[in-house]
Amino acid sequence: MRVKTRFAPSPTGYLHIGGVRTALFSWLYARHHGGTFVLRIEDTDRERSTEASIQAILTGLTWVGLDCDEGPFRQTARFARYAAVAEEMLSRGTAYRCYCSREELEAMRAQQVTRGENPRYDGRCRERRQPVAGVSPVIRLRSPREGTVTVHDLVRGDVSFNNADLDDVILMRPDGMPTFHFGVVVDDADMGITHVIRGDDHLTNTPRHIHIQQALGVPVPVYAHLPMILGADGARLSKRHGAVNVLEYRDRGYLPDALLNYLVRLGWAHGDQEVFSRQEMIELFDIAAVNSAASRFDPDKLNWLNQQYILTRERRQLADEFGAFMDLRGLRREPGPSLGEVVDAYRERAVTLEDMAQASWYVFNDFEAIDGKAAQQHLKAATVPVLALAMERFEALPVWQRAAIHEALQGVAAALGIGFGKVGQPLRVAVTGGTVSPPIDVTLELVGRQRTLRRLRHALQLAQEQPLLS
């Protein structure tokens, strides 16, 4: 059997992190089996669906690199089809028109709850022959009232439900819009979806879907219900847990590969392995090995993974990604060294591309002022000779290159009879405006000779103005 999976978001907001994980697992399953991955936009909720959401979902998926083979399809483009299927069900008697008003249904539910029953439609329109004047009816499924349905779930195993606990689900609204339940089933069947991989929150919807499938006489797909992702505090993931919109991760300098790697390990493991390339994910992913318990989103571990990816990423690629990030954030990258050099120097101390941009800012831009505390500590009268001698040696250097710079600085330390640390730190403060940077020779090389000398001159002035205390 040729595997076909789908991701079916509803465009009522941005693409969130839980959705990405669902999409990832569907995508992995399809890719692993050499199957097809379909994207379908479930936009039957006209009130809440927006064009902007569709765009956000699409760019989110693109950024993260989960490419679909078919779609995006839109349910709103398939009206006629749902109507035709519903009509057929009506004529075959597997569905019926229901004229109950919302108020009536509300009252029914309230009563049932007070009686301690599972609130559900009691089927009072099942045998109705005559339409009710002035009421445009909904269409309901005539579902079995006895027996059980069992969902054969790839991650949960068999889960059974009593049909008596389920009610006659609404298929079509009065305006001819299918409900979610009807839309998914018809679409999954029409599109030949073999495996439905979706969030845990749909598990209790599944028996209804199976009833619809049985009424339609279409094959029941294989189901796999994924556990939810919770916030760090165990509550449902929401904005107060930090970023939930995928694009926020892009904007904060996360690498899509790292995000996916983090997500794939939420609820799934392959022995002790933590880092998976896309290829490895595809090869090793096994839906049956997915955990059934919900997991919490841990930003610390995502950070660690992102750092690992930055650390080990191929130079050219990282430079490209960093460049794209700088552009996205409107950061200046010229004049200055090549991004390849920058990335080599800063990758070891950046958790995100944002960190990297921040840490290397002085390479491309002139700072307003040196950090006060740093200047006070490192640019004092005693450092005047260090700065002066360094400038002298730098001016004389035939090439502006780290080995030569390093040698020159060792010469300065030796000439003044002080340790390398007494040379490096004042220079660092002078040239970067702060106390943290890559090794001083590398830093100076990147900043460039002209800028270095200019900044040293300025720092020298500052140091000379300090009171003579050492």
Partner RNA sequence: GCUCCCUUCGUCUAGCGGUCAGGACGCGGCCCUCUCAAGGCUGAAACGCGGGUUCGAUUCCCGCAGGGAGCGCCA
Give the catalytic positions in this structure.
239
Identify which of 401, 372, 405 has the alpha carbon closest to the alpha carbon of residue 391.
Answer: 405
CB 228 within 8 A of CB 18: yes
Does 292 interact with RNA (rule: CB under 7 A)? yes
In angstroms, what is the minimal distance from the CB of 109 to RNA? Answer: 5
Residue 161's Cβ-side half-sphere holds a number of Cα atoms within 13 Å equal to: 19
Q: Which of 32, 74, 81, 120 binds RNA (CB under 7 A)?
A: 120
In angstroms, what is the minimal distance from the CB of 454 to RNA? Answer: 20
Cα pseudo-dihedral 96, 99, 104, 108, rounded to 10: -10
Does 205 interact with RNA (rule: CB under 7 A)? yes
For RNA, the binding residues in 164-183 under the rule CB under 7 A are: 165, 170, 173-174, 177, 179-181, 183
For RNA, the binding residues in 257-276 under the rule CB under 7 A are: 265-269, 271-272, 274
For RNA, the binding residues in 398-427 under the rule CB under 7 A are: 406, 419-421, 424-425
User: Which stretch in 185-193, 276-284, 295-303, 334-342 sits in contact with RNA by CB under 7 A?
Assistant: 295-303
Helix (H, G, I), strand (E, B) or coil at 226: strand
Does 161 interact with RNA (rule: CB under 7 A)? yes
Query: Phi and psi at residue 155, in whole multiples of 5°?
Result: -105, -25
Closer of 64 and 237 to RNA (Cβ) = 237
Closer of 117 and 327 to RNA (Cβ) = 117
In angstroms, what is the minimal distance from the CB of 200 to RNA? Answer: 6
Does 48 interact with RNA (rule: CB under 7 A)? yes
The rounded distance, in Å, linking the Cα atoms of 116 and 394 is: 85
In angstroms, what is the minimal distance from the CB of 93 to RNA? Answer: 21
* Positive/negative CA dihedral, 366, 372, 376, 378: negative
Closer of 171 and 319 to RNA (Cβ) = 171
Does 439 interact with RNA (rule: CB under 7 A)? yes
The rounded distance, in Å, linking the Cα atoms of 27 and 177 is: 29
| List of residues 6+ apart from 305 with CB closer than 8 A | 258, 261, 262, 274, 275
In angstroms, what is the minimal distance from the CB of 2 to RNA? Answer: 25
Q: Which of 32, 74, 81, 109 binds RNA (CB under 7 A)?
A: 109
Go through the chain and tell me how many residues it has.
Answer: 470
The rounded distance, in Å, linking the Cα atoms of 247 and 228 is: 20
For RNA, the binding residues in 358-397 under the rule CB under 7 A are: none
In angstroms, what is the minimal distance from the CB of 244 to RNA? Answer: 14
- DSSP H helices, 155-312, are 180-190, 206-216, 246-251, 256-264, 278-284, 299-312
Token pair 């004049």 is found at 335
CB 112 within 8 A of CB 104: no
Q: Which of 50, 55, 111, 291 binds RNA (CB under 7 A)?
A: 291
Closer of 5 and 307 to RNA (Cβ) = 307
Strands 195-199 and 222-226, sheet pairing: parallel
Does 116 interact with RNA (rule: CB under 7 A)? yes
For RNA, the binding residues in 297-336 under the rule CB under 7 A are: 298, 300-301, 303-304, 307-308, 311
Structure-block tokens of residue 80: 């006629």
Q: Give how far Cα 313 sits from Cα of 137, 360, 361, Å.
A: 59, 18, 21
In angstroms, what is the minimal distance from the CB of 424 to RNA? Answer: 3
Closer of 39 and 335 to RNA (Cβ) = 39
Please count the residues of this chain forming the interface with RNA, following the rule CB under 7 A: 88
CB 315 within 8 A of CB 340: yes
For RNA, the binding residues in 220-239 under the rule CB under 7 A are: 227-228, 230, 232, 234-236
